[in-house]
Structure 1
Amino acid sequence: MTTVEQPGSRARRGTVDDAPDESTVVKEVPDWLRRQRRREARLRRTVLLALVVLVAGAVFARWREDPGTVLASGLRPVGAVIASPAGDAAAGAGVPDAPAGPATAADGSASGAPDSSAAAHAEEDAPAEPAPVASQQPVPSSGAGSISAVEIPGGAVKATGRTVAYGIDIEDGLPVSAADFAAVVHTVLVDDRGWQTKDAVRFVPVSPAERAAGAHVDIRVTLASPTLTASLCAPLNTSTEQVSCWNGMRAVLNLTRWVRGASTYGDDLASYRDYLVSHEVGHGLGHGHVNCPGPGQPSPVMVQQTKDLEGCTAWPWPTSP
């Protein structure tokens, strides 16, 4: 008998119909591919984090160069509020009494203010060309790299006014008499044409022995070589302009300026030094930069006189002549 096979009754083994539907196949990812994908993911996260840090660092550096100064003795700088005063302890590799938490600015100021609204005031503000000098006397690029407190000349201390305790420092190994430097700074601070008269303050000297015993200092006036100036004023770049700065609680006076002066003062180096001390300490008292009020007028001391008199005549004192 012939059997007629009914449709669908044949066992269809070995036909393509027995193959599983591709949509149901789960393809296993090799271990090496999983590891590679993990590495790529980590790399992407690392690159993203690096970009975030870079941008944040650039923003922070820009913030620190914005105008603003502060003095840590209860005196309030213009437009700033002090959160807490900085201490007199050293905070720098191999540099005694280095300012802690600096924010800087070129030959005029900076601020290591604890208040976030106070940042740096620059005297030179990074001119495109090196700021001019009055002479080309040789100046060593570096000294010993360490700082020593200097004895301050004696004399009567003003009886009234807000107290501003100050110390004087000099980098070891500089070709400048520490006693002569201290005498100039002290004379400028107590001069009747100075900040004591203008701001009704009272500068009180703090000796090296008193500082070693822990006495508080509001302002440190420091003479430093160009190399140490750059370190104390960082992150501000002072090397191109050979400028000074106010940073933290320290007025850092660049040896190049102290020795060579500036062309704006011609050969009157003594008056330029008076200006340099007055200007830097002015930042410490909270004063920002100003402009020349008019051609031929005496320059306010907070004009960036090292850089340009702006039509004014040189004048190194806070008070008017």
Structure 2
Amino acid sequence: TVYEGILSDLHVVAIKKPKMVVRREIDEFINEVAILSQINHRNVVKLYGCCLETEVPLLVYEFISNGTLYDHLHVQGPRSLSWDDRLRIATETAKSLAHLHSTALVPIIHRDVKPANILLDDTLTAKVADFGASRYIPLDRSGLTTNVQGTLGYLDPMYMHTWRLTEKSDVYSFGVMLIELMTRKKPFTYMAPEGNGLVAHFAILFAGGNLSEILDPQLLSEGGDRIDEIAAIAVACVKLRGEERPTMRQVELRLEVAQSPKEFEADGDIAANSQLACGPGLTSRQYSMEEEYVLSARYPR
């Protein structure tokens, strides 16, 4: 349960409290403190501290007043968040995940990326939250074997099958979230007439050039010529084999390109030597680490 609280200096905070004294919940709280104490990023919710003087530990966060991305996306009526806001929020989320995977001292996998875990502040800036299930990945390992945790509909099928958690598991979950942003359909309940879930149906329609059948009508009126590019990124992220998915850094940069095409067209010297291997339908770019930082350094974190 999360409460709104006020400190003695009148600073408003959010206070997270376990519903019961259960070892797993306590372990998740300890894990969240360990993870968030290592992260300083504008798109990750800030942990101010914890209180251990109570029956169960309390976590104290910055107060984010505007609910979750899920709340804003799945509203009654034909119109929801604008396409520009959805795309910006997706890009901010990609930035934070790329930071966790490749910039943090020890790589961190969130393990439960979904709209309900993306908080929005008063300016609709994304704040990634809920790190109770997150895991460190040692620098000398490409993944780890662990019990499956996450939310059905967003879970990487390879992780579910093999129990092997990698950074590409977050990439898959992010791809599902991107599809949800484009369709306003919930991946844990959607079922196509043919029996396919949201991810499979979206990929089939994209491959057949029939994406308009599933897209949010609001997107068709606001998305312009960026729809196919964003859809291609989403389809690349949800490929069955993890090694065929892009990294979150590549996704971040591709989303930036989609939003600023004129600026990046001028960077022909960099773009000409770059290729992102994200599968059919996606512009091909492959970044060395040096090139990634040259491009991403323009955008504040």
Q: Which has the higher contact order (CA 8 A, sep 6+)?
A: 1
Q: Which has the larger radius of gyration?
A: 1
**TM-score surpassing 0.5?**
no
Structure with a larger share of its residues in helix: 2
What is the TM-score when the length of structure 2 is the normalising length? Answer: 0.28
